[in-house]
Amino acid sequence: MRLVLEYDGTDFHGWQAQPAGRTVAGELSRAIATITGESPRLIAAGRTDAGAHSLGQTVSFELGREIAPGRLMTGLNAVLPDDVAVVDADIAPAGFHARFSARRRRYRYVVENREARSAVLRNHAWQVKSPLDVEAMRQAAGRLTGRRDLGAFGKDPAGRNTVRNLEAVDVTPLAAGGVGALIAFDLSADAFLYGMVRRIVGFLVDVGSGRRSAGDAAAGARVAPARGLYQMAVEY
């Protein structure tokens, strides 16, 4: 079975189930057990951080009995908490693996660039008070794309090599100037290192605020907070 989830990560300790702390995997496991009476091993496309959000988390698992995907989706949405929803369900092809079968992953990070504190986006964007130079951030982003060792921006959880194909890093103002100016950082790659998106955004914000130049090494750059991070989609 394959599910696509969306969730608001504000009140979660990330995706991965753990002994203490509320997690997305924990809530989904309980919902599946309620609907099917089974407790399958869940495999996710990626392990989102505590506080990070998703609009397209893919999850695969096997059930001992057949159940129509639409029926399962309806049942799960009836018992899942309000901050998690199943938005698609189907029968996964033979050999499908939510993580290893993925060809491309897309993430978005949202920065609210204004001085006044945010009431609406306080859990869904990183507020940066100092003005940001979008063009400088774009130039710095262009230096990061391509197949290269990105170990300065993250770690492989299994301790393997840190070479990744970072296909694109787009920096786009969503609201031009004034109160509530939003900037989106859209990244796509074959795979991401742990913490990679947040470190890249932290580095680019350092460039945009004049703290470092586009050619500076990433070491010492800020790590952007998880609340502005959105897992957008996983492509197979």
The pLDDT tens digits for 129-138 are: 999 999 999 9
3-state secondary structure of 9: helix
> What confidence tens digit (pLDDT) does each residue in 55-102 have?
999 999 999 999 999 999 999 999 999 999 999 999 999 999 999 999
DSSP codes of every residue in 193-210: -BTHHHHHHHHHHHHHTT
Three-point CA angle 35, 38, 44, nearest 5°: 90
Pick the catalytic residue from 11, 49, 88, 216: 49
49 assigned to active site: yes
The residues, ordered by sequence, that sit 6+ positions from 193 with a Cβ below 8 Å of its Cβ are 150, 151, 153, 154, 155, 156, 162, 164
Grade residue 125 by pLDDT with cuts at 50, 70 and 90. very high
- φ, ψ (nearest 5 deg) of residue 50: -60, 125
